[in-house]
Structure formats: C-alpha cells, structure tokens
C-alpha cells in the first residue's frame, strides 16, 4: 500500500528581504523622496560607553539593502533617522521629509548602486 504524505510549510514573508511587494488596491503613490543613506542599528552590550564616558545602548552604521522594490512603513527615529518598521534599518533623506509619526506607508525602490527613493502612499 502506498502512502501519500503532504508536507505543509507556514512561511512569513518580510518584504524588506524578499524584494517583492503586494499589490495595494486602494493606495496610490504620492511624492517621491530621495534616500540619502541607509543605516543599520546595532545593539551594544550593557555598560558600553561613548567617547565622553556616557552610557550608550546602540550605534548606527551605514548599510545597504539589496536592489529591489519593497513595501514598507517608516516612522520617526532618533535625530534625522526614519525607522523602517519591523527591522533594524533606518533611512535619511536628501531633503526635508517631515513628520512620519508612528507610520507612513509606501514603497522604497533601491537601485543596483544602493541609492533609491521612497514613495509615500496617498491616504
């Protein structure tokens, strides 16, 4: 007797790392904002000090993302940084972006050279 076995995988896809996006039926692209730099947050060990002897929890290092188009939500981060929600990645823009609060949805397009743009969805 032959037995058929079915193996089922449950996969969660994080758009930031797959390079794909879902269609957004009720959303349209609005303004384009040029990305100046991409940073990655690195958590530090407890007790790490900066050059002034002040305790610090993390640092931000320049990073890059794989070329592609990603559906993301950004929110205000520390200083001039905007957090890509759900990740350790942060963006800065070449010109003034403004208040993102707890979340502005949109798409970032990263080219082969590591630069790109953020397109904020119109609400």
Residue 5 pLDDT more than 70? Answer: no
Q: What is the residue whose two structure tokens read 């996006």?
A: 21
Is 78 within a domain?
yes
Q: How many domains does the chain have?
A: 1
- pTM score of the predicted model: 0.73
What is the residue range of 106's domain? 28-122
Q: Output the DSSP codes for 60-107.
A: EEE----SEEEEEEEEE-STT-EEETTSSEEEEESS-----TT-EEEE
Is 91 within a domain?
yes
pLDDT digits (tens, 9 = 90+) for 40-91: 999 999 999 999 999 999 999 999 999 999 999 999 999 999 999 999 999 9
Is 77 within a domain?
yes
Confidence of residue 122 (pLDDT cuts 50, 70, 90): confident
Taking all residues of the chain, what is their mean pLDDT, rounded to a whole number?
Answer: 81
Judge contact between 91 and 62, C-beta under 8 A. no
């Amino acid at each position: 007797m032959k037995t058929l076995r079915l193996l089922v995988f449950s996969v969660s896809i994080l758009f930031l790392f797959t390079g794909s996006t879902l269609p957004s039926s009720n959303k349209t692209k609005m303004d384009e904002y040029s990305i100046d730099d991409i940073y990655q947050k690195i958590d530090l060990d407890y007790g790490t000090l900066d050059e002034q002897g002040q305790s610090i929890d993390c640092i931000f290092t320049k990073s890059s993302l794989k070329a592609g188009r990603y559906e993301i939500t950004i929110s205000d981060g520390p200083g001039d940084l905007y957090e890509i929600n759900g990740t350790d990645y942060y963006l800065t823009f070449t010109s003034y972006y403004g208040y993102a609060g707890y979340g502005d949805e949109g798409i970032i397009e990263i080219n082969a050279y590591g630069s790109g743009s953020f397109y904020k969805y119109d609400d």
